[in-house]
Amino acid sequence: MSERSEFTVESGSVEQRLLPSAEPVRLIDQHGVAHEHPQYEMPAAQTLAGGYAQLVTGRRINDQAGALVRQGRLAVYPSSHGQEACQIAATMVLGAQDWLFPTYRDTVSIVSRGVDPIETLTLLRGDWHSGYDPYEHKVAPQATPLATQLLHAVGVAHAARLKGEDTVVMALCGDGATSEGDFHEALNFAAVFRAPVVFFIQNNEYAISVPLSKQTVAPSLAHKGIGYGVPGERADGNDLAGLLAVLGSAVAKARAGEGPQLVEAHTYRVQAHTNADDASKYRDDAEVTPWLERDPIKRLDAYLTGLGVLDDEAKQEATRAAEKVADALREGLMQEVQPDPAELFEHLYTTPTPQLREQAAFLADELAREEV
C-alpha cells in the first residue's frame, strides 16, 4: 500500500459523485411495466401523457420527412425515427430561458421546442443554411461539423452565468461525435468554468456505418465525464419517463450551480444514417428487429393505457394533431420556393464589402439577361 499523498484521489467518493449508474435508468420497460428506481421518480402521469402526444407528432414528422425526401422535396433527411423519446425529453425538461444546441438529426427536438417545422427544415430542404431565428426560441442553428457546437454551448452558458441569468444549455450530440477533440475540450471547459450545460449524447449505436464498439472501449459514454470531473448518468433512450427523470435532474443540478452534467441515452438508429445511406452494407436486419420491440411510443402507450390515463379518444386526438403537423409539412414543402439569389451576398458581413457589391451586381445583371 502506498502512502497517502497530495496526489491521492478519494476514489470512493469521487466514483459516487461522478460515476453513472451500473444500468441505464429505466422507469418503464419495453412491455410498458413500471419499475421503481432508488434515485429517480416516475414523472407525473399528465406530464407523460403530454409527452406521448409529442412522441406521436415526432414520429409523424420523421416519417413524413422521409416521404418528402423520396419525392425530392428535401435534399436529405437524417431521421430520428426510434429516437423520438430523446428528442422530446431534451426539450420537455427546459424552461423558456434555456437554450437548445441541436445537430442535423434533431429536427424533432427543434420542432418540439416550438420552432415552425417548415423553418426547421429549410436547411435540409436546400433553401438556406438555417431557416429559423435562433434567438426567438433559444435554439442554436443545427450543427453539422461534429461536436463543434458543444463549445458554443459552453460559451452561451458561461455568458449566462457572467450576466447572472438563470439559463441552462442543453447540448446534443451523437455517439460518434464523442471521439472528436471538441467534445473533450467542451467537457473540460464547461467543468473548469462550472458552466450550466447538460451534454446529452444520443447513443444510437452507429456513426454512419461505424458501430459503437469501434468508436470506444470505454465502459459507457457517460463514463467519459469522470476524467473531466463531470458527473455522468445513463438512461434508456427509448423510455421517455426515465429520460425525463434523468435529464430533469441534470438540468436542476446545472441550474443549482453544480456545473456541467453528462447524460448518455441508450437508443438505436433503426433507419439508415440518411436516405443516401445503405445500411445493408454494414449491418443485418436481425440486429434491428429487437429494437423495433423497444419502440418508445409502444411502451409509453402500454403504460399510460394501463394507468387509465390514455384512452382511445386521447390516442385519436394525438394522431389527429400529428396528422395536422404532417399536412402542414407536406403542404409547405410542396410549395416551390426559390430563394432569392441576391441574398447570397447580403448576410456575410454587417456591411457588404465593395467586392461583394460588385459581384451581386454581376449576378443581378446575369439573371436579368437570362430572363430575356
Partner 1 sequence: MTHVKLSMAQALNQALRDAMRADESVLMFGEDVGALGGVFRITDGLTAEFGEQRCFDTPLAESGIVGLAVGLAMNGMRPVVEMQFDAFGYPAFEQVVSHVAKMRNRTRGRITLPIVIRMPYAGGIGGVEHHCDSSEAYYAHTPGLTVVAPGTVADAYTLLRRAIEFPDPVIFLEPKKLYWAKDEVDLTVAEPGIGKAVVRREGADATLIAYGPTVPVALEAAEAAAAEGRQLQVVDLRSIVPFDDETVCAAVRRTGRAVVVAEASGFASVSSEIVARVTERCFHSLAAPIRRVTGFDIPYPPPKLERHQLPSVDRILDAVDDLQWDDR
Q: Return the number of the residue (114 or 126) whose C-beta is nearest partner 1.
A: 126
Q: Return the number of the residue (189 or 206) whose C-beta is nearest ligand TPP.
A: 206
Q: Give the shortest CB-274-to-ligand TPP separation in angstroms.
A: 8
Candidates 12-20, 57-65, 162-170, 332-340: pick the segment binding partner 1 (CB under 8 A).
332-340
In SS3 terms, the chain reads as: CCCCCCCCCCHHHHHHHHCCCCCCECCECCCCCECCCCCCCCCCHHHHHHHHHHHHHHHHHHHHHHHHHHCCCCCCCCCCCCCHHHHHHHHHCCCCCCEEECECCCHHHHHHCCCCHHHHCHHHHCCCCCCCCHHHHCECCCECCCCHHHHHHHHHHHHHHHCCCCCCEEEEEECHHHHCHHHHHHHHHHHHCCCCEEEEEEECCEECCEEHHHHCCCCCCHHHHHHHCCCEEEEECCCHHHHHHHHHHHHHHHHCCCCCEEEEEECCCCCCCCCCCCHHHCCCHHHHHHHHHCCHHHHHHHHHHHHCCCCHHHHHHHHHHHHHHHHHHHHHHHCCCCCCHHHHHCCCCCCCCHHHHHHHHHHHHHHHHHHC
Candidates 4-12, 33-41, 253-261, 355-363: pick the segment binding partner 1 (CB under 8 A).
355-363
Asked whether 153 and 140 are in contact (CB, 8 A), the reply is yes
Q: Of partner 1, ligand TPP, none, which one does residue 344 interact with (CB within 5 to 8 Å by kind)?
A: partner 1
* Residue 199 contacts partner 1 per CB under 8 A: no
Mask 215-254, x = binds partner 1 (CB under 8 A)? xx--------------------------------------
> Is 269 a known active-site residue?
yes
Q: Return the number of the residue (53 or 146) whose C-beta is nearest ligand TPP.
A: 146
Count of residues engaged in binding partner 1, rule: CB under 8 A? 41
* Residue 124 contacts partner 1 per CB under 8 A: yes
Q: Of ligand TPP, partner 1, none, which one does residue 181 interact with (CB within 5 to 8 Å by kind)?
A: partner 1
Q: Return the number of the residue (95 or 126) whose C-beta is nearest partner 1.
A: 126
Contacts (Cβ under 8 Å, ≥6 apart) of 322? 53, 56, 57, 59, 60, 61
> Is 273 a known active-site residue?
yes
Which residues partner with 262 through β-bridges?
199, 232
Catalytic residue among 104, 161, 282, 283: 282
Footprint (CB under 8 A) of partner 1, residues 126-155: 126-129, 144-146
Q: Of partner 1, ligand TPP, none, which one does residue 282 interact with (CB within 5 to 8 Å by kind)?
A: partner 1
Candidates 7-15, 205-213, 294-302, 315-323: pick the segment binding partner 1 (CB under 8 A).
205-213
Asked whether 138 and 172 are in contact (CB, 8 A), the reply is no
Binding site for ligand TPP (CB under 6 A): 105, 144-146, 174-177, 204, 206-208, 269, 273
* Residue 288 contacts partner 1 per CB under 8 A: no
Q: Of ligand TPP, partner 1, none, which one does residue 338 interact with (CB within 5 to 8 Å by kind)?
A: partner 1
* Residue 208 contacts partner 1 per CB under 8 A: yes
| Burial of 372 (C-beta count, 10 Å sphere; 0-12/13-18/19+) | exposed
Q: Give the shortest CB-209-to-partner 1 separation in angstroms.
A: 4
Q: Of ligand TPP, partner 1, none, which one does residue 105 interact with (CB within 5 to 8 Å by kind)?
A: ligand TPP
Catalytic residue among 59, 113, 125, 269: 269
For 341, other C-beta atoms within 10 Å of its C-beta total 12
Catalytic residue among 60, 73, 273, 299: 273
Residues at the site binding partner 1, with contacts judged by CB under 8 A: 75-76, 123-124, 126-129, 144-146, 176-177, 179-182, 207-210, 214-216, 276-277, 281-282, 337-339, 341, 344-345, 348, 353, 355-356, 359, 363, 366
